[in-house]
Each structure stands twice: as C-alpha cells, then as structure tokens.
Chain A
C-alpha cells in the first residue's frame, strides 16, 4: 500500500508544479520551455520528438495523423498523459496497454473505447468535448464531411485529434519508418532491446517542409528515447563483443 501513498504524493507534487508554473508564467514573465497541461495552447511531447514537431509540442485544436506505428502514437501521448491530460483510444482493441504504461501513459487517465460501433463520429465528438487527446482508428471509412466536422470540433474544444491512418487535410502527419531492432545476438541469444527509427513529420502551414529525426522507439525501458543514449547495461560488453552494436558513449546522467 505504500505505492498508493507514493501515488498520492506524486499527484500532489504534479498539481503543485502545475500551479507554480502557471503563476510563474503570469507574474514572472519568464519563458517556460516545457509547456504544461491545463489551458495552455500546447501539450507537451517527449523530448526526442520535440525537435521534429512545430512548436515543440502538440498544438491544442490540431489534428495529427499517426501512421504505421502504435508505438509512435503512444510516444506522442505519453508526456501529456503523464503531466495530467486525459487520453482516449477509440477503435484500437489490440493496443498493448503494458507497452502504453511503459511508454509513460498514466493508465488511470486513459479511456479505451475498443468497439465504437457504427457511429464513430458521435463517439469521437463526445470524447473531444471532455478529453484532451483523442486517438481514433478506423477513420478511412469516414466521409470528408465527417472528417471536417471532427476536426472543427477538436479545434473548438481545444482537444487534439489523432487519427490513426490516412487523414487528408491533417495539420501534421507523423510516420515512423525504417525501423531497425537492436539487441539480438545471433543464435537465439539476447532479446529485443530497442528500435532505431526515423520519424518523419510533414503537414500544412508551418510544417510543410518535411522534418525527419532519428529516435529510439521504443527505447530501452519502453519510453521513446533520443539517439545517443547508451545501450542496456549488462549487455554492453556482450553486444559489443558480438559486433552488433558500435561502441557507444558511457551512460549519461538521466
């Protein structure tokens, strides 16, 4: 039960930080580089993905289409969810929730609607009213009018709509390509440790120029990590001896 008390402490710490951050912004006037949840215009995003998203985060009211990777969707949601935002995963009955927890999502604030039924638009609209991030799958069947309605609803409520799949007209389109898994030493030894991918972001407006970044998705431990973090300790020597990994820098703090 100590974990429950520690949970409560962590919650209070988070809330206290939110209030302090807001007060600092109002009175102190300093530029806060990490936007926090709660009425701000940008939702925070994990550090390795900040360089590739315009504004360094997810803009409230925007539509971000995520394709080809559930891990990428979870990485986009993780930081905002950990900081207190509410997320919904609609039409994703197969999403691995253990992977979601490892990526950093706070499971008490993640709502799952695995089977939204025939009226996907009504369900998504109801969720956009109350939650901050709504990821919707099965959007290929929607008509253009429905898509525009959902995007307008998201813009109006200040929620972020993340369609999983093709969404013409999205503000941003995020794709993870050319993944390479590391950690397997030949002959059945080793295990999957992390995957090096390239994250490509394109879109409209400020993001019309395509940006690409490399990241470890999932990194060691399940969260998204930046390239340059060293390999798993304990496997270091073994993998280097097997020639799978190039020698990497020593473990850096944090």
Chain B
C-alpha cells in the first residue's frame, strides 16, 4: 500500500496512475473558468491609498514580515516572508506599508465593477483575484484571446490596475494560468499542471500546506504531475484528507464536488436594516448578526458555503450584488469579514458618488435598507475545522455568543472590551472597543508615542527644584514583580509592548476613575486653599480635603505634586497640571463617584457613600485619592479603593 506510494514512484507511475483514474471517483469535468489576477494587489491598494508613486519600491508588512511586494522591490531582492529589517537592508528606499484587508477589499470593488461591465457573473475570490465562467464572455467576444485583451484594457483604463488573465478548467488551474498569463486548451489542464512544482498547492492564503509540501519534496514528488499519478486511496491512507483535496487539485479536478441538492430558497437570510445603514461600523454590526444567522441555517442542514452571495438594496432602490467565492468553505468569521468588506466598499462608493469628493457626507446619502445573504454553492460541512484545543475554543465561542446576545439587548455600544494604550493618565491609557470590533494592538515604531506625533520625551515633567523628594521628573519607575505563572507574563508583556512614557504614574493605578471630573477642595491646616505654584511646589501642606462640597476629611499623608505638561505644541489640546496623591484617614466605605454627594451620612466615620456604605463595618480604613490640579482647580482623577 504505502510502499507503492513511497517507494517505486518512478517505476509504477503509469500503472498506479491508471489504477487511480479507473477507480471511478467523481470525475465530472470542472467548469472552464477565467481568472483575472491583479499581481501584488495589497501593495497596489496600499500604495494608492498612501500616495506612494509607482516607481518607488513598496512592500506590505504584517507581523514584521513582508506579505507582498511590488515588482520594483522584487527586482531589488525583496521577497515574501523576509523580515522587515532584511527587506529594508536589501532595498533602503523601500516604502513599508501596513496591512489592511478592508482597504484591499474596498479598492478591489472598483476592479470588480469594471469587469462586471463587460462580463456578468463576477465572483470575487479574494482581493486581487476574480473568477468568471469563461463560457459566456468567450462566446460573446469570439475567442479567449479577444476576451483577455478586452478585459485587460478595460480594467487598466477604468481603474489603472494591471492584471493578468488565465483560462483553464477549474479555479486552481485557472489561477495558476493567470499567474503565467496563458490560456489552457479545454481538456489539457492536467498536462498544463503536470510540470508545475508542488509548492503551487500552498498559494492560497487561507490554507497552510507547508508540511505536506515539504513531505512531498522529501519523498521525491516535486511536480504536480508526479503527485497526481499516485492512487487516491494511497494518498488518503498515507497523508490524510487535506492531501486528498490537494491531490484532486493537482489532477485538475474540483476539490469538493458541490452538494447535489440545489440550494433552495431556504438558504437565504435577509434583514431589514431600520434605520438604514449609512455608517461603516453600523454595517459591521448588522453583518455580524446576519452572518451568524446564515451559518446557523447552514449548520442546521449540515452544509458549509463556498460561494456567498451578498445583496443589498439602498433606499433609492438601487440593487447591489456581489458574489464571493472561496476555495475553502467559509467559517463564520470569514463570512463576517467578507460581508463587512463588501458593505464598506458599497457605502464608500455611495458616499463618493453622491458627494463627488471623498470624505464629504452628503445631506441624504441613502443608505442600505435591506441586506440579504445567500449560500449559492454549498458543500457538506464535514470540511470545516474547528479549533485544535477543543475546550479552549469552545469556551471562547460560548462567551462570544453570550456577549452578542447582550449586545442584542443593549445595542452594539453596550458591551466593550478594553485595549491598553499609551498615556500618562490612567483614564487615557484605556480605549474601550465595542465587542466584535477589532482590538488593534497599539502600533509601535521605535520610540514614537501612540499619538503618532509625540516622540518619547515630549511632555516630560518640568524638573522641580532640588527637593527632598526624588521625584524630579515624576514618580520613580515601577518595580517589576517576578511572576509565577507564564500566563501572567502576558499582562507584563502588554505593558512592555507600549513605549515608555516619562511622567506616567507607576503601579498601583487607581481602581476607580470617575466618569465626570469631581471637584474637590484642598485646604491646609489653617483652612486656606492649597495651590500649586509655578515652580510645581505646593503653597502649603494639605491637611483637609472636601470632595464635591462635602465634609472635609483629614489628610493622613500626601505625595507630589508631579507636574504634567501634555501636548505643549498644541494650543488647543495641550494642558498643564499637577498630580497629587493624598491618603485620607478614617473613611468608612467608598461607594464610587456616581451620585456622589459627599455629605456626612452619619453612619460610622465616613459619609462617603451615597446611601449606605459598602462595608457598614466598624473598621474604618484609609482611602487614597489621586488629585489633579489644572488651572488652579482641583479635581479627583481617581481613587484607590
């Protein structure tokens, strides 16, 4: 069994191959497909968006590795998979661009529309690759060569994007033909594929067949033809089910025969969007709910979708349609992504069309009122792969479903997660992201601050006069505790990933931060208000603190003031202030700042709670506050409760 596959490949090629083909597997001919490929589309889209001229080498970098590079960069030695430093070393004037699938999809919509003007039935496989049934255009224009010429000219004329066209049986062969710009005669696809290397099986972004390919190389099967001559049963027993799909591809067949049952109207979900969607983030929310419904419907039938139809109708009655084809069956996340990209593309186009300029919102911009998703081509759902560590993936999915349900109750702005960013105040260090939106990690590039403008060192605290306190430039740096479990180091890495911010408050940070600033009066022992002089020194030692007009409480200790000078170059957003930590003695319970009244309630020593304190216990403790003095006014920036 396996010896035939591994051992005598060269000897038994013809007989084994004939045996494999005669086994009676489903071998209906794959339809003839025309593939239109825009080389290096991520780079083209990024360069167009950023305004990088074409003669300049450019590369799109993701996770510090080159994802795609332009032809000019390739001529200088930049390749896919290189580290960014290596690429910049090979080509010093390389323009490094960030990866953004939404932008790629949005800009590719123009190419799709241009192709649609000449030939209907356009299916987008991914940004950069379009598939059509070749039969219609070839019959209309006469010959395959004529179709190719017309399409290339038209796309170049209307969008300025270069593309290459290939025609063959089946999407995989058509893509490879488009890479080479050839037209494969009908029925000669297997011959066309035979001399190509097995590394072509790994070109699809969604799949990872690197191990299979290295294994095949080591076995001596370096071409698709050699791989294709193995009998299917041997491939299945030796390599696995994914290799069986690759085997079918290598022979020029459709990897998955479509489910014979024609997709009835039941495999359609639609939603009335009321109010009509005009904003991109509302589109994202609508698309998520609808994609989940579609997947629930498909899962109920035991199917997975390889071709997704997205239809939308605007308020003006314009019907927009797009079909997305995917080589691998779509996961729910993949469906959500594609619907979101498509809606963004349509909304941006609508806005541009109506207003004539990018970025200007017209008075009535229509908006999308009806959204419909349909599974146009479905396959049996055994092909979907869930997470490898079953338990962990299941817990994440269960939590995600619960959060989506709460979002359905409260709206998309009801559930958030937090992303830590840079900053000096505990309040500005946190960005709340609605659940389901991307938690983009802060982009760091050398020592640049996260505003994109502030290099490290700007806004640094003005050093005060030589004082007994050693905090001339802010509180001393935080100590790094050595943690026990490796999992806890994730939090530490999250802190380290952000560049250092001089003047930032070190740990511990306040645990309660008021939503609105809470005014406070700081008095010294004689009852006079305490101020911060221009030399960042307190005018007198604080002795009492009265929060929000309440009863003054005795101060047990204080530290500071630490001056803060934010964005001094910006006359509007810049501000200067000083921070002070105070410890208040004998406070009973702290109930948050919401509805804070501050009047003595008479229970115990505190009077800090609105209503009754959280403890009600007779063991008063100390409460620490972080105060901020701006323009002579003191307010509470946080409480350490």
Contact = CB atoms under 8 A, between A and B. Distances in A.
A and B associate: yes
Given A10-B487, A130-B402, A221 B478 contact: yes
Contact of B511 (A95, A130, A186): A95
Contact of A3 (B395, B487, B493, B592): B493
Given A3-B493, A104-B491, A127 B402 contact: yes
Given A10-B493, A104-B488, A108-B417, A181 B510 contact: no
8 contacts: A7-B490, A86-B396, A116-B410, A123-B406, A175-B617, A176-B621, A188-B469, A198-B619
A2 B64 contact: yes
B409 A98 contact: no
A186 B470 CA distance: 13
Categorize the interface residue count of chain A. 35 or more
Interface of B: 63-64, 389, 391-392, 395-396, 398-403, 405-406, 409-410, 414-420, 426, 429-430, 432, 435, 439, 441, 467-471, 475-476, 478-491, 493-497, 506-515, 538, 541, 557-561, 581, 583, 589-590, 592-594, 611, 613-615, 617, 619-624, 638, 640-641
Contacts of A198: 619
A188 B254 CA distance: 76
Contacts of B508: 99, 102, 192-194, 218-222
A104 to B, nearest CB: 5
Nearest to B514: A94
Contacts of A29: none
A144 B589 CA distance: 24
Nearest to B400: A130
B417 A38 contact: no
Nearest to A122: B409
A130 B476 contact: no
B418 A70 contact: no
Contacts of B486: 10, 13-14, 17
Q: What 9 A-B pairs come out closest when comparing CB atoms?
A: A130-B402, A3-B497, A189-B469, A179-B621, A221-B481, A177-B619, A184-B557, A222-B507, A218-B508
Contacts of B409: 117, 119, 122-123, 126
Interface of A: 1-7, 10-11, 13-15, 17-19, 38-39, 47, 67-71, 74, 82-86, 93-102, 104-117, 119, 122-123, 126-127, 129-132, 140, 164-166, 175-181, 183-195, 197-198, 218-223, 225, 232-235, 238, 253-254
Given A113-B415, A181-B622, A192-B624, 10 more contacts: A84-B392, A112-B432, A130-B401, A130-B405, A186-B557, A191-B506, A192-B581, A223-B481, A223-B483, A233-B479
A190 B469 CA distance: 7
A71 B511 contact: yes
B469 to A, nearest CB: 4
Contacts, number: 289
B614 A68 contact: yes
Given A98-B429, A112-B417, A126 B402 contact: yes
Interface of A is mostly: mixed
